[in-house]
Structures are given as structure tokens and as C-alpha cells.
């Protein structure tokens, strides 16, 4: 069983509210390519959750039903050689792939998340 321990990146930007929300970044100390991005309102209510792992993305939005899955262009090896695509640029492409959600939920269930973020994140993704 993997050990996924997350910590919060605290910065001036993470305390700033833009359009009524602030962005919180959580990074996995044991797998630095696994991240959560949370958008919270002034009442600490979750408005948007983005979970990135292995160039795959799970997103939850407060104003939409369900969970969406995506992959970055880095999951498609041929995409980096096309004209107009710069190396290092990450784009997100929606995909309907149940294995992304399954893999992501397994990681989240094993994760140790800081403070109130633990129940906040797990409650949204356990609905999947």
C-alpha cells in the first residue's frame, strides 16, 4: 500500500480572494507530481476541486453534477511533436475513462490530507 502524505503550500497568493474564491494547493510529499487544487469561498466552502495525478485529472464543481475526468497532453506522446505545441506546455483534454476515476479514488482513500481538507476532499470523491 502506497503512502500519500499531502501538505498545504502557504503563500500570499493562497490567502488572496479573487472573484470571491481563493486557491489552496496541496502537494504530496512522497509523490510531488500528485496535487490537489481547491477553490474555497470566504466561508471555507469548497467550490471547485481539481486532483492531478500521473497526468490525469479528476474535477468536481459545486455548480455541476458529477465528476469529470481528463488527461493532459503529456499522456499523448505524439502530441508534443505537432506544430504549435511547445514542449512543457500542459493542456487538458476531457475523456470519459472510468479507470481514471477508479485510480484517483484509490489514491485519495490512502491519502493523509491536512486538517479539514481531508473530509472535504474525501466526501466529494467518495460520491463517485
Question: Cell for 45?
Answer: 466552502
User: From first to last of its 128 residues, what are the pLDDT tens digits of the chain?
Assistant: 678 999 999 988 888 999 999 999 999 999 999 999 999 999 999 999 999 999 999 999 999 888 999 988 765 555 445 555 555 666 777 788 888 999 999 999 999 999 999 999 999 987 65
| Alpha carbons 124 and 43: distance in angstroms, whole number | 17
Per the structure, the complete domain to which residue 17 belongs is given by 4-125
If we measure between CA atoms, which residue out of 65, 23, 66, 26 comes closest to residue 41?
A: 23
Domain count, the chain: 1
Which helix (H) or strand (E) is 117 found in, with range? helix 117-125
Amino acid at each position: 500500500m502506497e503512502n500519500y502524505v499531502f501538505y498545504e503550500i502557504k503563500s500570499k497568493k493562497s490567502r488572496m480572494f479573487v472573484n470571491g474564491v481563493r486557491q489552496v494547493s496541496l502537494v504530496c510529499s512522497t509523490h510531488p507530481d500528485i496535487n490537489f487544487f481547491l477553490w474555497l469561498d470566504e466561508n471555507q466552502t469548497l467550490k471547485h476541486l481539481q486532483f492531478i495525478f500521473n497526468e490525469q485529472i479528476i474535477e468536481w464543481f459545486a455548480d455541476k453534477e458529477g465528476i469529470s475526468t481528463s488527461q493532459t497532453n503529456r499522456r499523448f506522446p505524439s502530441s508534443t511533436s505537432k506544430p504549435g505545441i511547445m514542449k512543457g506546455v500542459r493542456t487538458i483534454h476531457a475523456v470519459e475513462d472510468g479507470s481514471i476515476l477508479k485510480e484517483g479514488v484509490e489514491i485519495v482513500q490512502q491519502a493523509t490530507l491536512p486538517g479539514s481538507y481531508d473530509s472535504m476532499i474525501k466526501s466529494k470523491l467518495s460520491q463517485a
